[in-house]
Amino acid sequence: MAKNFTTRKENYAQWYNELVIKADLAENSAVRGCMVIKPNGYAIWEKMQSVLDRMFKETGHVNAYFPLFIPKSFFSREADHVEGFAKECAVVTHYRLKSAPDGKGIVVDNDARLEEELIIRPTSETIIWDTYKNWIQSYRDLPLLINQWANVVRWEMRTRLFLRTAEFLWQEGHTAHETKKEALEETEKILALYAGFAEQWMAIPVLRGLKSPNERFAGAVETYCIEALMQDGKALQAGTSHFLGQNFAKAFDVKFLTRENKQEYVWATSWGVSTRLMGALIMAHSDDHGLVIPPKLAHTQVVIVPIYKNKEQLDQISGKALQIKEALQAKGITVKYDDRDTHKPGWKFSEYEFKGVPVRLALGPRDMENNTIEIARRDTLEKQIRPAGTIAGEVERVLEDIQKNLYTKALAFREANSHKVDSWEAFKNILDDKGGFIYAHWDGTAETEQKIKEETRATIRVIPLDAEPEEGKCVYSGKPSAGRVVFARAY
RNA sequence: CGGGGUGUAGCGCAGCCCGGUUAGCGCGCGUCGUUCGGGACGACGAGGCCGGGAGUUCAAAUCUCCCCACCCCGACCA
């Protein structure tokens, strides 16, 4: 057990905050609401980026980069969009500073006021659609499948490292299509891609579905999302994929000539995942001993710790440790051999455990004598003494097993915390008792959703895509319902 | 942005009510020695404009006001 570390049971929110700080993932910065992502945290994000980037490219997308600043007038072009983001935009009004008249410090030069203020992008639809207008003339220019990796700013009142920060990193895909059908297919394709990434790489099972109108992206016709369940029973939206219809094409006048030589507005999608995925990853798997990272996203998958009394012993052990390191690297496994003399083995054990390194190998005098090695896995904290000769193959299998085990555990947790509920009493009781996903009937109205939110703080997380139609009565209003939706309290 | 709380060494805290020696304690940090299979032990040592600013006072970590940051609870949101 790590020293001075709050357990999940004691205080889940505090456990998360301490974990992020103590595992050196990120910290608060001098700027309110903005975080510094530290090397340990950034390495995981980089790994996520590289996997997602490859997936985007494999599905025909290319990367580009659009400006950080957006002219204010662009924002007002799409009514829902501006309304959705207006309250959280940072605005640039001046372009110059000058020395203060009293000689102390520096002030904004009021003579350098911008004629048109610039918004720091909270998302890039407007600047991108203004640009696409010039790129699209004919159906031959379609589809346009572009992604960008960028930072965005949303001026949040209440922030938490990774989960909600004023500035965050993300990717945003923006595509243009000839037909509605094609755009819808793109939206669904990306949703599947996100779900696959969450499940196969992050080892987090996700629900796939549609957002209710209340939760829909400002400016979208339909928002698809993947939704994950955290260990405290709260839901976390892990990725969104929007079908934008022709809303932005109309707002920015993006028309193309069809095969029939007719002018038509293009069909659009946009989709994104952010550094919030880091929060999901941390909260899905970690425990009271610290961080747990699925092997496929760990920057260091294996650490080797030597145990020795003197230099001769260390030299002998190092020889063997380096052989094992090479054998592991030959299998594509990332390994760190920690022969620092400045920390003791026990200290290193605790440290790597807390930082979530999936597999630890320990090699000491006893192992040298018996030709063995100790292998410890982070997910179950099990330790075993194994023959040293075949350890590389064994580590490879253990890493695969950890990846699988984390997913299985997370899935079992979700299943144990998903409930079909038909009465309003039960609905409230489950929420207050243990949280989780609640499958309940809903009459389909925004009013009911709002009322439920006001009374319980729970919202509709998804309208599941694969749900079987089921006649029922709304859990709140008693009015007829065509199927169950998923409620939860959410991050 | 509303309500509550907290800012004292890198981290965790005591001191503050009731103003007055040189501001303490634990962990961590440095040197040396003994240790090394789950966060070792001893000796010596370094480290503070007491969150920032303004006031009250002979005197402020301590009292008053303003600001800033963080945490919790709401509203808003990925």
Please provide the DSSP assignment of A125-138 as one string.
Answer: HHHHHHHHHHH-SB
The number of residues making up chain A comes to: 491
Q: What's the rounded Cα separation, in Å, for the pair A82 and A218? A: 8
Exposure b/e, A433-457, CB count within 10 A at least 16 = b: eebbbbbbbbbbeeebbeebeeebe
Beta-carbon neighbour count of residue A420 at 10 Å? Answer: 12
CA A348 to each of CA A44, A357, A361, A422: distance values in angstroms, whole numbers, following the listed order:
21, 11, 11, 51
CA A451 to each of CA A15, A154, A173: distance values in angstroms, whole numbers, following the listed order:
32, 27, 34
Q: What beta strand segments (E) does A403-455 contain?
A: 418-420, 437-441
Residue A408 CA distance to nucleotide B63 C1' (Å): 60
Strand B bases within 7 angstroms of protein beta carbons: 1-2, 11-12, 27, 30, 35-40, 68-78
Closest nucleotide C1' to the C-alpha of A349: B38
Residue A364 CA distance to nucleotide B32 C1' (Å): 27
Q: Nearest-CA neighbor of A308 among A335, A329, A339?
A: A339
CATH number of A418-488: 3.30.110.30
Residue A9 CA distance to nucleotide B41 C1' (Å): 35
C-alpha torsion sign, points A71, A76, A78, A83: positive
Can you name the residues that pair with A486 across neighbouring β-strands? Answer: A439, A462
Q: Both tokens of residue A59?
A: 């599905």
Vertex A455: Cα angle to A451 and A458 (nearest 5): 85
CB of A242 within 8 A of CB of A269?
yes
Got the DSSP string for A243-273?
A: EEETHHHHHTT-EEE-TTS-EEEPEEEEEEE
Q: What was the pLDDT predicted at A3?
A: 65
State pLDDT tens for residues A416-447: 999 999 999 999 999 988 899 999 999 999 99
CB neighbour list of residue A122: distance below 8 Å, 6 or more residues apart: A85, A88, A89, A152, A153, A154
Residue A222 CA distance to nucleotide B73 C1' (Å): 33
Q: Both tokens of residue A196?
A: 């696959």
Q: What was the pLDDT predicted at A1?
A: 45
CB of A223 within 8 A of CB of A211?
yes
Closest nucleotide C1' to the C-alpha of A313: B36
Closest nucleotide C1' to the C-alpha of A216: B78
Beta-carbon neighbour count of residue A110 at 10 Å? Answer: 10
Q: What's the rounded Cα separation, in Å, for the pair A456 and A460? A: 12
Closest nucleotide C1' to the C-alpha of A368: B37
Q: What's the rounded Cα separation, in Å, for the pair A246 and A254? A: 9
Can you name the residues that pair with A223 across neighbouring β-strands? Answer: A242
Instruction: Please give the backbone phi and psi of residue A279, each rounded to the nearest 5 degrees, phi first.
Output: -65, -40
Closest nucleotide C1' to the C-alpha of A290: B39
CATH number of A12-69+128-285: 3.30.930.10
**The CATH number fitting domain A302-398, selected from 1.10.150.390, 3.40.50.800, 1.10.150.310, 3.30.300.30:** 3.40.50.800
Q: How far apart are the first and last CA of chain A?
A: 27
Got the DSSP string for A135-166?
A: H-SBGGG--EEEEEEEEEE---SS-BTTTB-S
Residue A39 CA distance to nucleotide B15 C1' (Å): 38
The single residue listed with the structure tokens 């929007």 is: A242
SS3 A387: strand
Q: Nearest-CA neighbor of A170 among A313, A278, A284?
A: A278
Residue A222 CA distance to nucleotide B40 C1' (Å): 61
SS3 A299: coil
Q: What was the pLDDT predicted at A117?
A: 92
- ipTM score for this prediction: 0.88
CB of A136 within 8 A of CB of A112?
no
CB neighbour list of residue A265: distance below 8 Å, 6 or more residues apart: A246, A249, A250, A254, A255
- Segments making up each domain of chain A, as ranges: 12-69+128-285, 302-398, 418-488
**Which protein residue's Cα is closest to nucleotide B36 at C1'?**
A309
CA A146 to each of CA A125, A373, A382: distance values in angstroms, whole numbers, following the listed order:
12, 49, 45
CB of A252 within 8 A of CB of A77?
yes
Closest nucleotide C1' to the C-alpha of A489: B77
Q: What was the pLDDT predicted at A11?
A: 85
Residue A14 CA distance to nucleotide B4 C1' (Å): 17
Residue A160 CA distance to nucleotide B66 C1' (Å): 27
Mean pLDDT by 10-residue block, N- to C-terminus, for chain A (491 residues)? 75 89 87 88 96 98 97 90 88 86 76 92 96 98 97 90 92 98 98 98 97 92 96 94 97 97 98 95 94 97 96 95 98 97 94 96 96 98 97 98 98 96 93 92 92 91 90 94 93 90
SS3 A76: coil
Q: What was the pLDDT predicted at A104?
A: 65
Q: What's the rounded Cα separation, in Å, for the pair A454 and A467? A: 26
What dihedral angle (degrees, nearest 10) is formed by the CA atoms of A385, A386, A389, A390? Answer: -150
CA A418 to each of CA A145, A204, A229, A363, A429: distance values in angstroms, whole numbers, following the listed order:
37, 15, 9, 44, 14
CB neighbour list of residue A209: distance below 8 Å, 6 or more residues apart: A224, A225, A227, A461, A462, A463, A464, A465, A486
